[in-house]
């Protein structure tokens, strides 16, 4: 074959392979490229190590299969005698070491860059708890919870599953494009892990300690991840969604958050001044209960054994109000019962406690007012 | 047999001792890690002892940002937050910041603040002359207080660190481990 | 004079005599049998738990079990497979084979041997009974990280801790017994560098066991005192550190996974030369490689913790050390292939399993190399990619190794040849099923599916469906294996003394079935092998 047509042939083969590797078919099987420089470099590392492994596998298994074929007894009745060779041992020790060095170099340079968390444009404190995330923007002084938004009915197969089943939240983390965002991870209870595959960021959230990671995203969009460390019952149900917006939109979003917080406090003032009736509070309370409490205490209030006590006829639910308030607002140390005071408004807390005291056959007839909650904070 | 039974005996004793020694080794890891982390600061924990203000060297021109963060442990009914989110400080310079705490509960509660620094190895250079994390903090029902941290960052801080994050997690101290209220009761009885 | 166990108890009834025999035996062959049957029983129990897991993961959504129970299945499946299936199986094989392979009449400490075994049924009864306790069985993964296990673990956690202590004591005593036996009871002429490789790999495994099982005992005791006696090893509130748990656990955990594979390496090194009719290539190299793997295994534990907030220097150190282990492991694989090369190969069932072991374990080892690269590990860690990796090295590794050994030595143990046709069906079904089950997990992990989750996003459903179907087939294939083993015990073509044409070693000089007491006087070494065989 002439040099030109040989090169054409090689070029054709390479183009086919390149095209194939970029098809949807290949994408379904490959580690994603992601949307950051680091995620792209990591994908490259993945391809390098995968390539090395495939080549090694093909060679070793090729030799084995050849031997299985050519040296089977029917074809090769007399076995050879040799059983050692220092030279050969040396060769197949040194060559693998060289291959490993070849892989270690790009891995090392990538790692050094990944671990460089300095000079970030914004810092976000990510606090994990069972089973949700809290995001706190340090410079902007804004914070909120991010919960799974998939309805329970979908999980229990009563409704068809949505497109982003288990990968959707009520309040995503919002980031600006082209800015270095530094994340500080910690936890309120057990070890969780914050992972967004498109950013190739994964760091454990450890109670009592902070870990750091960073990313810089150029492409606006929605990116989804999941908790990556077994953290109890609902480990599968605490996803992460990051919305990356162009810088100007991000700045506006920050201002909107501040405004919303002011409005919420205005609303909260109004709630406190109003005298609420049982009929008004019960439906709100039921909705709050189903969204936040039912996963452990069950929609019918019967709980699950001693781990998640029953509220129907429960000691606290029909006992003194102060104890009930304290338990809901401040949680119980060293258990999965968390403090709800930071997470719910006065109205929501008043409603859900009223609901718990008057549902499922509990007849305390107590009506808790939002201002009572406010005073107890 | 190739060996007399006496050798067997010796081997059994040796191997049993090895097993027991390894059990002890697991526990020895506790002080070993503590020393390793204190020397390197790698786990991000600042020293539990006050730094001697006399060891301070001169103030340098180099500035770093230090961020202040606060966490409250589960079941801890306190409001707890830094009064400022960050400071721009010079190395070697004395600084003070305050954390605000308020006990929302209807009874007295004792808490212990546990620090964590990121990047971890910066912890070694964050020298605290006074810190509320050195002792347990006791608040009566509804009581609040400002808790100071007086610190300086050593001028031997590695070049590549430009931002330090200091986080405190406030945990509830169970009654059996509460040394603060015992002290208070003792004080009241004097 | 040797007192027979049967004589200790007057014959009141055959049942009592049967119980006394098995309860009180100090015979290495009978104790080997006990370990193997315990392992086989627990294999089906832990396998059933895997079936529950795969059933729930067949489709997204919650269909069959609730998340809390699912987490218990995940945890118990891991604990029982590691401590109740693989380890006892290898100890059972050690008990049966090591004395015969070195020309010894029994283990050095026969009564300790009996005790080491009998701890286990009690330990596993305790562990399994936790499924019925208030709060359920342990649900925090077999790695029981703090504070999920310390602060948030159910009441059964304390029973789990006691169970782990019991299993640990059994393993350490068994390992001491094996080491003392190998050091002291070899027949004259069998120097260390002339021992069969299975004995070498078990010697090194026993050393690892003695070194690290006590560290697990320490970790588990720290969990117990953190839970009940006000210590704070792993609690930041008391000045401790949850990551410290991971350090102590994985210091045990990494050598543990080499404990779970080294005897398998030894088995492959026995079987391949036999069916290649050629001596093992590079005997010395194989010994040194195994020892290197064992030594290196002590300094790589951090590679399980790359996302825990490890500083750069730590990450680099553990990355390089982990990559280094690939070298001696590769050397072993190359030596097996060189043993085959220009041999005269036949493919009876033991050889099929041994070759399946080499090929599929290598795939698992290669994915392990990928995991060693820290930046890439940030994407792989705690996903199904890791689950794929360790199931490839454990199932086609440890389990196929055990099955290969069983097929290889069953004729010696029972005096009957197993049914070769059925054996081949078992092999091919198992190989196809194992790949159907675990290969797709590489892809679901790469696509972003975390591990230890009860429910997942629909983008992962195709891979999960294939895995679940494969797992059903895999379970069925093991029922076939049970049938084959029982059938062989009960009858079959009589096995000759040497059994396999290429078999070399002292165990192939005693009659089949091997008499209860063999080598009561030390045999000459090297042995003269019979030419009359079954093939």
Secondary structure E strands in C336-454 = none
Report the CATH number that the domain containing residue A170 is assigned in CATH: 2.60.40.420
Q: Which of A220, A235, A260 is the last residue of a domain?
A: A260
pLDDT at B155: 87
Residues A126 and A110 in one domain: no
Question: pLDDT of A40-78, one tens digit each?
Answer: 999 999 999 999 999 999 999 999 999 999 999 999 999
Nearest CA in chain C to B27: C218
Residues A249 and A128 in one domain: yes
CA C118, CA C34: separation in Å to the nearest integer?
Answer: 9
Nearest CA in chain A to B64: A119
Nearest CA in chain A to C462: A28
Q: Cα distance from B47 to chain A (closest Cα, Å)?
A: 14
**Is the residue at A42 inside a domain?**
yes
Q: Is C468 a catalytic residue?
A: no
Mean pLDDT over the full length of chain A: 92
Identify the residue whose tokens are 């801890």.
Answer: B76
Partner-chain residue, chosen from B12, B29, B169, that has the shortest CB–CB distance to C180 = B12
Assign B40 a pLDDT band (cuts: 50, 70, 90).
confident
φ/ψ of C25, rounded to 5, equals -60, 140
CATH superfamily membership of B53-176: Ctag/Cox11 (2.60.370.10)
Q: Is C308 a catalytic residue?
A: no
**Is the residue at A135 inside a domain?**
yes
Query: For residues B39 and A204, which has the higher predicted lDDT (pLDDT)?
Result: A204
Nearest CA in chain C to A158: C61
pLDDT at B184: 58
Omega of the bond leading into A78 within 30 degrees of 0 (cis): no
Cβ–Cβ gap C375/A107 under 8 Å: yes
Q: Cα distance from A34 to chain B (closest Cα, Å)?
A: 26
- Indicate the burial class of C265 (C-beta count within 10 angstroms; 0-12, 13-18, 19 or more): buried
Which segments in chain C show pLDDT lower than 50?
A: none
pLDDT at B1 over 50: no
Residues A200 and A278 in one domain: no
**Is the residue at A10 inside a domain?**
no
**Is the residue at A56 inside a domain?**
yes
CA C378, CA A196: separation in Å to the nearest integer?
Answer: 10
Cβ–Cβ gap A211/B43 under 8 Å: no
Residues A254 and A281 in one domain: no
From the candidates C54, C303, C416, C442, give the one annotated as an active-site residue: C303
Interface residue C317 vs chain B (CB under 8 A): no
**Is the residue at C514 inside a domain?**
no
Q: Is C402 a catalytic residue?
A: no
Report the CATH number that the domain containing residue A372 is assigned in CATH: 1.10.760.10
Of C255, A311, C169, give the one whose Cα is nearest residue B19: C169
pLDDT at B175: 76
pLDDT at B3 over 90: no
Residues B133/B148, Cβ–Cβ less than 8 Å:
no
> Which chain B residues touch A125 with a CB distance below 8 Å?
69, 167
From the candidates C25, C171, C339, C367, give the one annotated as an active-site residue: C171
Q: Is C451 a catalytic residue?
A: yes
From the candidates C22, C37, C118, C142, give the one annotated as an active-site residue: C142
**Is the residue at C519 inside a domain?**
no
**Is the residue at A371 inside a domain?**
yes
> Which chain A residues touch B72 with a CB distance below 8 Å?
339
**Is the residue at A105 inside a domain?**
yes
What is the average per-residue pLDDT within B54-62? 76
Cβ–Cβ gap A85/C282 under 8 Å: yes
- Indicate the burial class of A59 (C-beta count within 10 angstroms; 0-12, 13-18, 19 or more): exposed
Nearest CA in chain B to C178: B12
Assign B190 a pLDDT band (cuts: 50, 70, 90).
very low
pLDDT at B57: 65
From the candidates C332, C391, C416, C498, give the one annotated as an active-site residue: C332
Partner-chain residue, chosen from C184, C213, C214, that has the shortest CB–CB distance to B7 = C184
pLDDT at B56 over 70: no
Q: Is C142 a catalytic residue?
A: yes
**Is the residue at A7 inside a domain?**
no
Which segments in chain A show pLDDT lower than 50?
A: none
Question: pLDDT of A14-45, one tens digit each?
Answer: 666 666 666 666 778 999 999 999 999 999 99
Partner-chain residue, chosen from C343, C382, C446, that has the shortest CB–CB distance to A193 = C382
- Encode burial over B38-71: b for 16+ CB neighbours within 10 A, e otherwise: beebbbbbbbeeebeeeebeeeeeeebbbbbbbb
Partner-chain residue, chosen from B85, B116, B174, that has the shortest CB–CB distance to A210 = B116
Chains interfacing with A (3 or more CB pairs < 8 Å): B, C
**Is the residue at A17 inside a domain?**
no
pLDDT at C531: 76
- Percent of chain A whose predicted confidence (pLDDT) is above 70: 94
> Which chain B residues touch A335 with a CB distance below 8 Å?
74-75
Q: Is C11 a catalytic residue?
A: no
Which structural domain range is residue C102 located in? 5-509
Cβ–Cβ gap A127/B71 under 8 Å: yes
Number of domains in chain C: 1
Residues A241 and A286 in one domain: no
> Which chain B residues touch C236 with a CB distance below 8 Å?
114, 116, 169, 171
Residues A232 and A298 in one domain: no
Distances (CA, A) of C440 to A226, C55, C447, C448, C449: 20, 16, 11, 13, 12
Report the CATH number that the domain containing residue C162 is assigned in CATH: 1.20.210.10
What is the average per-residue pLDDT within B152-181? 87
Nearest CA in chain B to A212: B118
Q: Cα distance from C465 to chain A (closest Cα, Å)?
A: 15
pLDDT at C6: 57
Number of domains in chain A: 3
Query: Cβ contacts of residue C15 below 8 Å, gap of 6+?
Result: none
Q: Cα distance from C453 to chain B (closest Cα, Å)?
A: 24
**Is the residue at C531 inside a domain?**
no
Q: Cα distance from B1 to chain C (closest Cα, Å)?
A: 6
Partner-chain residue, chosen from A123, A127, A189, that has the shortest CB–CB distance to B67 = A123
Q: Is C130 a catalytic residue?
A: no
Partner-chain residue, chosen from A67, A103, A165, that has the shortest CB–CB distance to C373 = A103
ipTM of the complex: 0.94
Which structural domain range is residue A324 located in? 274-376
Q: How many CA atoms within 13 Å lie on the side-chain side of C190?
A: 29
Q: Which helix H or strand E contains C461, and what residues bound it? A: helix C461-490
């Amino acid at each position: 074959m002439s040099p030109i047509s040989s090169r054409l042939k090689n070029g054709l083969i390479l183009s086919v392979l390149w095209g194939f590797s970029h098809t949807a078919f290949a994408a379904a099987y490959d580690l994603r490229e992601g949307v950051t420089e680091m995620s792209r470099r990591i994908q490259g590392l993945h391809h390098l190590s995968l390539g090395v492994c495939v080549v090694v596998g093909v060679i070793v298994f090729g030799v084995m299969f050849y031997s299985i074929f050519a040296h089977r007894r029917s074809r090769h009745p007399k076995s050879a005698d040799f059983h050692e060779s220092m030279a050969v041992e040396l060769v197949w020790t040194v060559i693998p070491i060289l291959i490993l060095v070849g892989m270690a170099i790009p891995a090392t340079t990538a790692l050094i860059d990944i671990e460089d968390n300095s000079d970030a444009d914004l810092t976000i404190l990510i606090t994990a708890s069972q089973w949700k995330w809290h995001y706190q923007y340090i410079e902007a002084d804004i914070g909120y919870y991010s919960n799974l938004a998939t309805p329970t009915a979908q999980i229990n197969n009563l409704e068809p599953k949505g497109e982003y089943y288990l990968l959707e939240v009520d309040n995503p983390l919002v980031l600006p494009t082209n800015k270095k965002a530094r994340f500080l991870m910690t936890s309120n209870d057990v070890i969780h892990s914050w992972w967004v595959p498109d950013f190739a960021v994964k760091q454990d959230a450890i109670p009592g300690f902070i870990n750091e990671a960073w990313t810089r995203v150029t492409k606006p969009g929605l990116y989804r991840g999941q908790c990556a460390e077994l953290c109890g019952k609902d480990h599968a149900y605490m996803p992460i969604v990051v919305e990356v917006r162009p810088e100007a939109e991000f700045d506006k979003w920050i201002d909107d958050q501040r405004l919303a917080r002011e409005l919420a406090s205005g609303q909260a003032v109004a709630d406190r001044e109003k005298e609420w009736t049982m009929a008004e509070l019960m439906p709100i309370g039921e909705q709050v209960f189903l969204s936040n409490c039912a996963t452990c205490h069950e929609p019918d209030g019967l709980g699950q054994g001693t781990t998640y006590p029953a509220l129907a006829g429960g000691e606290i639910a029909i006992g003194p109000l102060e104890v009930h308030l304290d338990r809901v607002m401040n949680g119980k140390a060293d258990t999965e019962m968390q403090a709800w005071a930071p997470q719910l408004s006065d109205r929501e807390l008043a409603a859900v406690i009223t609901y718990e005291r008057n549902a499922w056959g509990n007849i305390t007839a107590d009506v808790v007012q939002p201002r009572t909650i406010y005073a107890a904070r | 047999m190739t060996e007399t039974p006496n050798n067997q005996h010796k081997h059994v004793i040796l191997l049993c001792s090895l097993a027991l020694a390894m059990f002890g080794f697991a526990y020895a890891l506790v002080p070993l890690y503590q020393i390793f982390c204190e020397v390197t600061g790698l786990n991000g924990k600042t020293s539990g002892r006050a730094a001697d203000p006399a060891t301070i060297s001169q103030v340098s021109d180099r500035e770093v940002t230090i961020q202040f963060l606060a966490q409250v442990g589960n079941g801890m009914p306190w409001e707890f937050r830094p009064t400022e989110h960050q400071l721009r400080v010079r190395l070697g310079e004395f600084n003070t910041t305050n954390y605000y705490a308020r006990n929302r509960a209807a009874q007295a509660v004792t808490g212990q603040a546990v620090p964590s620094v990121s990047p971890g190895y910066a912890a070694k250079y964050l020298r605290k002359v006074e810190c509320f994390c050195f002792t347990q903090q006791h608040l009566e029902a509804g009581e609040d207080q400002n808790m100071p941290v007086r610190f300086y960052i050593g001028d031997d801080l590695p070049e590549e660190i430009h931002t330090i994050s200091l986080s405190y997690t406030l945990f509830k101290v169970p009654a059996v481990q509460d040394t603060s209220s015992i002290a208070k009761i003792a004080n009241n009885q004097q | 004079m040797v007192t027979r166990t049967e004589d200790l108890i007057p014959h009141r009834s055959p049942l009592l005599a049967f119980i006394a025999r098995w309860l009180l035996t100090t015979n290495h062959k009978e104790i080997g049998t006990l370990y193997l049957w315990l392992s086989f029983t627990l294999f089906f129990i832990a396998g059933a738990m895997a079936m529950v897991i795969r059933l729930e993961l067949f489709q997204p959504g919650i269909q069959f079990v609730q998340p809390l129970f699912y987490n218990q299945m995940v945890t118990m499946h891991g604990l029982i497979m590691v401590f109740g299936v693989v380890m006892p199986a290898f100890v059972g094989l050690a008990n049966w084979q090591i004395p015969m392979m070195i020309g010894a009449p029994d283990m050095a400490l026969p009564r300790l041997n009996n005790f080491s075994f009998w701890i286990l049924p009690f330990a596993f009864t305790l562990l399994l009974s936790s499924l019925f306790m208030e709060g359920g069985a342990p649900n925090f993964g077999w790695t029981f990280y703090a504070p999920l296990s310390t602060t948030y673990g159910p009441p059964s956690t304390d029973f789990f801790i006691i169970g782990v202590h019991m299993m640990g004591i059994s393993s350490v005593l068994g390992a001491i017994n094996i080491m003392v036996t190998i050091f002291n009871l070899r027949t004259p002429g069998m120097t260390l560098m002339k021992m069969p490789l299975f004995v070498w790999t078990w010697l090194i495994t026993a050393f690892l066991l003695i070194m690290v099982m006590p560290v697990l005992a320490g970790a588990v005791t720290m969990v117990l005192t953190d839970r009940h006696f006000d210590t704070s090893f792993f609690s930041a509130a008391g000045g401790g550190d949850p990551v410290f748990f991971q350090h102590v656990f994985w210091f045990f955990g990494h050598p543990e996974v080499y404990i779970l594979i080294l005897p398998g390496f030894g088995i492959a090194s026995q079987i391949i030369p036999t069916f290649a009719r050629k001596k093992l290539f590079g005997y010395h190299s194989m010994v040194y490689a195994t020892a290197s793997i064992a030594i290196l295994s002590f300094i790589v534990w951090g590679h399980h913790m790359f996302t825990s907030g490890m500083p750069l220097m730590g990450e680099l150190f553990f990355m390089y050390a982990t990559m280094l282990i690939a070298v001696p492991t590769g050397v072993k694989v190359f030596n097996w292939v060189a043993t085959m090369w220009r041999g005269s190969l036949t493919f009876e069932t033991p050889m099929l399993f041994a070759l399946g072991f080499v090929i599929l374990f290598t795939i698992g080892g290669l994915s392990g190399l990928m995991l060693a690269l820290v930046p890439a590990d940030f994407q792989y860690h705690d996903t199904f990619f890791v689950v794929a990796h360790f199931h490839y090295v454990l199932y086609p590794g440890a389990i196929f190794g055990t099955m290969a050994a069983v097929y290889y030595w069953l004729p010696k143990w029972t005096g009957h040849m197993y049914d070769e046709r059925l054996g081949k069906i078992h092999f091919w079904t198992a190989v196809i099923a194992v790949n159907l089950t675990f290969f797709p997990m590489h892809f679901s992990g790469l696509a972003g599916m975390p591990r230890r989750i009860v429910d997942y996003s629909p983008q992962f459903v195709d891979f999960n469906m294939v895995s679940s179907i494969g797992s059903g087939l895999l379970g069925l294939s093991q029922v076939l294996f049970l049938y084959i083993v029982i059938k062989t015990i009960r009858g079959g073509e009589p096995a000759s003394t040497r059994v396999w044409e290429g078999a070399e070693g002292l165990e192939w000089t005693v009659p089949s079935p091997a008499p209860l007491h063999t080598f009561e006087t030390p045999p000459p070494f090297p042995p003269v092998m019979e030419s009359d065989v079954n093939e």
